[in-house]
Amino acid sequence: MAERVVRLPDVGEGIAEAELVEWHVKVGDIVREDAVLGAVMTDKATVEIPSPTDGRVIWLAGSVGDVLAIGSDFVRLEVDGKSAPAAEAVKSASSTASTLAKKPDVAASAPRMAREPPNMLKSQPSAAPPHHAGDRPLAAPAVRLRAREAGVDLRQIRGTGPAGRITHDDLDAHLARGRTGTTATPYPTQTAVTDIKIVGLRRKIAEKMSVASSRIPHITYVEEVDVTALEDLRAKLNSQKQPGRPKLTMLPFLMRAMVRAIAEQQHLNAHFDDEAGIVHQHAGVHIGIATQTPAGLVVPVVRHAEARDLWSCAAEVARLAEAARNGSATRDELTGSTITITSLGALGGLATTPIINHPEVAIIGVNRIAIRPHWDGAAFVPRQMMNLSSSFDHRVIDGFDAAQFVQRIKTQLETPAMIFIDG
């Protein structure tokens, strides 16, 4: 008997070490050639390390979680004296692992003659029965990879190789027959990958969101608002609509509530030039309305909302939304907002974490209205409730100021008569 050292192969270009994530054997186990000894993980992939020969495990490199150097001893095997030299074993293991780590598709598309060991070309032993549940089927790493990609449970395949090893031909035959056993499904496996280049407006959106997310430390504040009274008022106003007046949605009420809240906290209606370290506080309230269009998300701007009443706000929102959707909105209509509203309407969910429209310092998110039980001090009553999910630039807006701002908006929405009171 002789000792055979299996070293940790080069599992990827430039990789100096790998983390041991799984042992498939223990000391004393008898292993066959190509049986998986263990698995290691690099920063790119998990790679199974196969045995280069038959033998008995007499030593393992370490425990799961250990970091091993490339080229260090991985497993030591007791083998008979006729086994191939240790140097060949290392080369074989390295080649297999590198192929798995770098080019997983090569094994699946290589000619069958190149995949199978030479002795497989001479004779085919009788097929072994499928493995029992819990048993680990004997198969080369390349076969395991193909099976994983195809969603096939190797325990359902009869291996025709030595000791019941499952070959590529066995896997091909199984795929040709259709899957059986626990993996049976009426749905086909989809393997297509479509590459879509990010261009135009979508690229601009991606760039803007990346800047906002990377440069602004967001604080998001979520508050529940009872809009029952507001919805009743809105319905009455719409039912008595005068000629030439637009239909009122929730947005004009929110815009007017924001204008009144900003009058008391003007530092939230601002741009932050973080490179110069200057906050540009605006007197005019120019509210951006995040709008979904066929081309992507745009933010048309209702200028000087402080000088508009409900119906003027509603008319301008409707005009700008239509211009944004049909592509006729001008550059001036899509730039210059000082604070933004974002709403997904009926799809608004319970809460969101809106991203600030850089270089602004605040964004108000509207979630959907739903009837919920609300405690009035004596009993639970059904009320129309809506959440506001609002984000603030924590570099210039403290959490207290953010909460106070949202609470001022909440008070006005819950008592909508306040929206019409001057001063």
Q: What is the pLDDT of residues 50-107, one digit of tens each?
A: 999 999 999 999 888 888 888 999 999 999 875 445 444 344 344 444 444 443 433 3
- Flag the least confident range among 264-273, 325-334, 397-406: 325-334
Highest mean pLDDT among 1-15, 45-59, 100-114, 152-166: 45-59
**Which 3 state secondary structure label does DSSP give 301?**
strand
Rounded to the nearest 10 degrees, the angle between the axes of helix 86-102 and helix 141-150 is: 20
HSE at residue 417, side-chain half, CA atoms within 13 A, is 0
- Residue 3 — very low, low, confident or very high, per pLDDT cuts 50/70/90? very high
- Residue 122 — very low, low, confident or very high, per pLDDT cuts 50/70/90? very low
**Which 3 state secondary structure label does DSSP give 59?**
strand
Give the DSSP H/E element, type plus range, for residue 133: none
The confidence score (pLDDT) of residue 164 equals 81
Query: Cβ(9)–Cβ(46) under 8 Å?
Result: no
**Which 3 state secondary structure label does DSSP give 264?**
helix
- Flag the least confident range among 11-15, 66-70, 164-168, 305-309: 11-15
Find the mean pLDDT for residues 329-348. 90
Say yes or no to pLDDT of 184 above 60.
no
Residue 185 — φ and ψ, nearest 5°?
A: -155, 145
The share of the chain scoring above pLDDT 90, in percent, equals 50
User: Which of 60, 57, 61, 35 lies closest to 48 in space, CA to CA?
Assistant: 35
The confidence score (pLDDT) of residue 152 equals 87
Query: What is the rounded distance in angstroms from the CA atom of residue 42 to the CA atom of residue 172?
Result: 30
Find out whether the peptide bond into 359 is cis, omega within 30 degrees of 0. yes
Query: Cβ(157)–Cβ(183) under 8 Å?
Result: no
Highest mean pLDDT among 10-24, 69-83, 376-390: 376-390
User: Which of 330, 333, 335, 324 lies closest to 358 in space, CA to CA?
Assistant: 335
Say yes or no to pLDDT of 44 above 80.
no
Two tokens at 207? 């760039």
CA distances from 160 to 66, 113, 116, 128, 214 (A): 36, 16, 12, 6, 56
Give bridge partners of residue 2 from the DSSP assignment: 79
The confidence score (pLDDT) of residue 188 equals 76
Q: Which residues are catalytic?
A: 394, 398
Mean pLDDT of the chain: 83
Query: What is the rounded distance in angstroms from the CA atom of residue 396 to the CA atom of residue 73?
Result: 56
Highest mean pLDDT among 43-52, 263-272, 321-330, 413-422: 263-272
Residue that the structure tokens 């009872």 belong to: 226
Find the mean pLDDT for residues 417-423. 82
- Residue 14 — very low, low, confident or very high, per pLDDT cuts 50/70/90? low
Other Cβ atoms closer than 10 A to 328:
9
pLDDT tens for each residue of 236-294? 999 997 888 899 999 999 999 999 999 999 999 999 999 999 999 999 999 999 998 88
The confidence score (pLDDT) of residue 90 equals 42
DSSP state for residue 211 in the 8-state scheme: H
The confidence score (pLDDT) of residue 18 equals 84
**Which 3 state secondary structure label does DSSP give 281?**
strand
- Residue 13 — very low, low, confident or very high, per pLDDT cuts 50/70/90? low
- Flag the least confident range among 293-297, 320-324, 330-334, 398-402: 293-297
Say yes or no to pLDDT of 141 above 90.
no
| pTM > 0.85 | no
Say yes or no to pLDDT of 123 above 60.
no
Find the mean pLDDT for residues 99-125. 37
